């Protein structure tokens, strides 16, 4: 199915957020995630099922003021 | 002054953005002796992994982190960003920014109070970026904030303390609340002035990062906040309108 990761269209086979992260190479990485604008804690990623068109945000530490 | 029960090693809070290189950033933080450094979140690429290199740098620095919600214009964006920051940075401290106006980056104080209430109830320790408005301050304290961070001037402007009267009023009204001047400081003298007003800390980024020599400027700010604090503690003289000779007049020779 096609979903959107950080606004980029991506086709994935995985059905939940945890599997999508693995499929896309976000392994052993310090990130946080949101689905359709809502925060999804790491502990809940496997239970978060995705449907076509789902919008995922993946963020990591960045310099800030 | 304690910040949510934590005593900072220095009243200098330093931002980590806009430095010429990661090495200069790292050296600047070390030279500054900053008690806190601010950080943020941005989209991560699985291939580039830029955030992971920055995280390694932060681990090496070992300075307390204050994540921000920079760039958020709504309560929902700010609250969601705060939750993501708590997970990534493993801290419940959050510098809460809800921007209301793009030219000045002035905080949306109505959204700020609402977001502060939500986050406090969620267990966050909120550092709200606010205007120097007394009523907003009262609302933020009522929402559960235990620190206030009024702006000195618009973010990145370097204009110093635009409303000294307002900042002094805030200090006088809330003598027991930790106060931080956040944003607008451009020179070490501005930082010293904030400390002389009785502020507990200053937060600086652009003034150091965009200096010709950020490392030297960090040292200058470090000395300035210390000088300002010592001056405040020493009890400044009262200003007056007319001159008063400092050299005694008694015994002055009659030479006319």
pLDDT in tens, B183-200: 999 999 999 999 999 999
Instruction: Please tell me what DSSP assigns to residue A28.
Output: S
List of chain A residues whose C-beta atoms are within 8 Å of the C-beta of residue B41: 32, 59-62, 64
Q: How far apart are CA B163 and CA A37, in angstroms?
A: 37
Q: Among candidates B186, B224, B179, which has minimal Cα distance to B204?
A: B186
Domains of chain A: 2-59 (3.10.20.30)
ipTM above 0.90, yes or no: yes
Size of interface A-B (CB pairs under 8 A): 107
Burial (CB count within 10 angstroms: exposed 0-12, middle 13-18, buried 19+), residue B97:
buried
Active site residue B76: no
Task: Name every residue whose Cβ is closer than 8 Å to that of residue B102 and which is 6 or more positions away in sequence.
Answer: none
Q: Report phi then psi at B92, rounded to 5.
A: -95, 5
List of chain B residues whose C-beta atoms are within 8 Å of the C-beta of residue A30: 51-52, 55, 88
Residue B256: band (very low, low, confident or very high) from pLDDT cuts 50, 70, 90: confident
- What is the structure's pLDDT at B206? 97
- What is the structure's pLDDT at B248? 87
Instruction: Quick: pLDDT tens for B37-89.
Output: 999 999 999 988 999 999 999 999 999 999 999 999 999 999 999 999 999 99
Q: Report phi then psi at B234, rounded to 5.
A: -75, -10
**Which residues does B contribute to its contact with A (CB < 8 Å)?**
15-19, 25, 38-47, 49-52, 54-55, 58, 67-68, 70, 76, 80, 83-85, 87-89, 155-156, 203, 205-206
User: DSSP states of B169-193 as a string?
Assistant: HHHHH-TTS-BEEES---SHHHHHH
- What is the structure's pLDDT at B235? 94
Q: What is the enclosing helix (H) or strand (E) of B13?
A: strand B12-15
- What is the structure's pLDDT at B249? 86
pLDDT at B242 over 90: yes
Q: Which residue has the tokens 């980029």?
A: A8
């Amino acid at each position: 199915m096609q979903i959107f990761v950080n606004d980029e269209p991506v086709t994935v086979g995985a059905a939940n957020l945890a599997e999508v992260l693995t499929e896309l190479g976000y392994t052993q990485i310090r990130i946080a995630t949101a689905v359709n604008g809502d925060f999804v804690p790491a502990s809940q990623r496997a239970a978060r099922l995705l449907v076509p068109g789902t919008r995922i945000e993946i963020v990591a530490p960045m310099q800030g003021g | 002054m304690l910040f949510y029960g934590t005593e900072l090693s220095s009243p200098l809070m330093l931002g980590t953005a806009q430095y010429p290189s990661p090495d200069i950033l790292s050296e600047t933080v070390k030279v500054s002796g900053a008690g806190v450094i601010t950080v943020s979140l941005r989209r991560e690429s699985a291939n580039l992994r830029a955030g992971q290199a920055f995280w390694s740098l932060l681990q090496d620095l070992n300075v307390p982190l204050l994540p921000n919600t920079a760039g958020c214009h709504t309560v929902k964006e700010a609250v969601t960003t705060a939750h993501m920051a708590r997970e990534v940075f493993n801290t419940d401290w959050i510098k809460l920014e809800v921007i209301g106006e793009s030219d000045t980056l002035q905080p949306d104080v109505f959204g700020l109070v609402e977001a502060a209430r939500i986050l406090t109830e969620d267990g966050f320790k909120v550092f709200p970026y606010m205007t120097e408005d007394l009523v907003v301050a009262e609302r933020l304290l009522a929402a559960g904030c235990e620190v206030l961070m009024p702006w000195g001037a618009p973010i990145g402007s370097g204009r110093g303390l635009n409303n000294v009267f307002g900042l002094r009023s805030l200090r006088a009204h809330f003598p027991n609340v930790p106060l931080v001047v956040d944003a607008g400081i451009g020179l070490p003298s501005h930082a010293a002035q904030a400390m002389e007003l009785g502020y507990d800390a200053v937060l600086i980024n652009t003034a150091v990062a965009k200096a010709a020599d950020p490392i030297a400027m960090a040292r200058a700010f470090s000395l300035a906040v210390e000088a300002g604090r010592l001056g405040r503690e020493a009890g400044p003289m009262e200003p007056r309108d007319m001159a008063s000779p400092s050299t005694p007049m008694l015994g002055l020779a009659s030479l006319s």
